[in-house]
C-alpha cells in the first residue's frame, strides 16, 4: 500500500512537530551529501530550528560557498570565470597529488619495500635502475676521494714550503749571530772556573799536598834508605800540623 498524502501545514502537536523535524532534517542533509558526491556539485544547507539551534552542511566549506554566492549575486559572469579557474586549479592539485603518490611508491620500491604487485619485467627494470644508480654512486665516491687526496697533497706542499722558509730564516739568524753560543758559558763551566780561581788564590799560602812533589820525593827516599814506616809517619806528622795551621780550609 502506498503512503497517503500528508497535508502540508504546521503541525500543532509539539512532540509530533519535533519528531518530524528531526526525521526530515536528517533526510535533507543526507540528500544534500548524495547530491554533492554523485553530481560533483557544491551544496550548502543551513537550517535553524524553532528553538534557534543551527544545523548546516557544506560540501566545500560554508564560508567559501557563501562568498561565492555573494559574488554571484554581484556579477554572475565574474563568479562563473572564477569558479572555472578554481576548478582547473583543483584538477591540477589532484594530478600533483597522484604524481606524489606514485613517486612515493617508486621510492619505496627502490628501497626494497612494497614489491608485491610487481611482475617479472618490472622487477628486472627495477634491478637495472638500482645497478645503474650503484655505479653512479661509486663513481661519485671515487671522485670525492680523489678531490680529498688532491687537497691533502696541496696542504702537504704548503707545509713543506713553510718549513723550508723557517729553516732559511733560522740559518740567516745563525749567520748574523755566529758567536752567541760560545760567548755565554754554561752554569757548570762557571762553577768550575770559580773553583779554579779559589784554588789559585789559596795556593800561594796553602799549597796542595796532592800536587806537592816534595812528599813524593820523601816517600821515595824513605823507600831507598830502607827506613821503617814509623819513621816516615813521624816525619810527615809535623808537616801536616804546620799545613793545618797555615791552611785550615784543606781539612775541610
Q: Tell me, what's the pLDDT at 149?
A: 95
Query: HEC string of the chain?
Result: CCCCCCCCCCCCCHHHHHHHHHHHHHHHHHHHHHHHHHHCCCCEEEEECCCCCEEEEECCCHHHHHHHHHHHHHCHHHHHHHHHHHHHHHHHHHHHHHHHHHHHHHHHHHCCCCCCCCCHHHHHHHHHHHHHHHHHHHHHHHHHHHHHHHHHHHHHHHHHHHHHHHHHHHHHHHHHCCCHHHHCCCHHHHHHHHHHHHHHHHHCCCCCCCCCHHHHHHHHHHHHHCCCHHHHHHHHHHHHHHHHHHCHHHCC
Domains and CATH numbers, the chain: 14-74 (3.40.1810.10), 187-250 (no CATH)
Q: Tell me, what's the pLDDT at 188?
A: 58
Whether residue 8 is predicted with pLDDT greater than 70 in this model: the reply is: yes
Q: What would the mean pLDDT of 16-40 be, rounded to a whole number?
A: 93
Give 112-136 pLDDT, tens digit per residue.
Answer: 887 887 888 888 888 888 888 889 8
The pLDDT-based confidence of 9 (bands split at 50, 70, 90) is confident
Whether residue 198 is predicted with pLDDT greater than 90 in this model: the reply is: no
Amino acid at each position: 500500500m502506498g503512503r497517503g498524502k500528508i497535508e502540508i501545514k504546521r503541525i500543532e502537536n509539539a512532540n509530533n512537530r519535533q519528531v518530524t523535524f528531526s526525521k526530515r532534517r536528517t533526510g535533507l542533509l543526507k540528500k544534500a551529501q548524495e547530491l554533492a558526491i554523485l553530481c560533483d556539485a557544491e551544496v550548502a544547507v543551513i537550517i535553524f530550528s524553532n528553538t534557534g539551534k543551527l544545523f548546516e552542511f557544506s560540501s566545500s566549506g560554508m564560508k567559501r560557498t557563501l562568498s561565492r554566492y555573494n559574488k554571484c549575486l554581484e556579477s554572475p559572469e565574474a563568479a562563473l570565470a572564477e569558479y572555472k579557474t578554481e576548478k582547473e586549479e583543483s584538477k591540477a592539485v589532484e594530478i600533483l597529488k597522484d604524481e606524489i603518490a606514485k613517486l612515493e611508491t617508486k621510492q619505496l620500491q627502490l628501497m626494497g619495500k612494497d614489491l608485491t604487485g610487481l611482475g617479472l619485467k618490472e622487477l628486472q627494470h627495477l634491478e637495472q635502475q638500482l645497478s645503474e644508480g650503484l655505479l653512479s654512486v661509486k663513481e661519485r665516491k671515487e671522485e670525492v676521494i680523489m678531490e680529498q687526496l688532491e687537497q691533502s697533497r696541496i696542504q702537504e706542499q704548503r707545509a713543506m714550503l713553510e718549513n723550508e722558509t723557517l729553516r732559511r730564516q733560522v740559518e740567516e739568524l745563525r749567520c748574523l749571530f755566529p758567536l752567541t753560543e760560545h760567548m755565554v758559558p754554561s752554569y757548570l763551566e762557571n762553577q768550575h772556573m770559580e773553583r779554579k780561581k779559589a784554588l789559585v788564590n789559596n795556593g800561594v799560602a796553602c799549597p796542595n799536598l796532592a800536587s806537592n812533589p816534595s812528599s813524593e820525593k820523601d816517600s821515595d827516599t824513605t823507600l831507598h834508605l830502607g827506613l821503617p814506616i814509623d819513621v816516615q809517619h813521624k816525619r810527615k806528622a809535623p808537616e801536616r800540623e804546620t799545613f793545618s795551621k797555615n791552611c785550615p780550609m784543606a781539612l775541610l
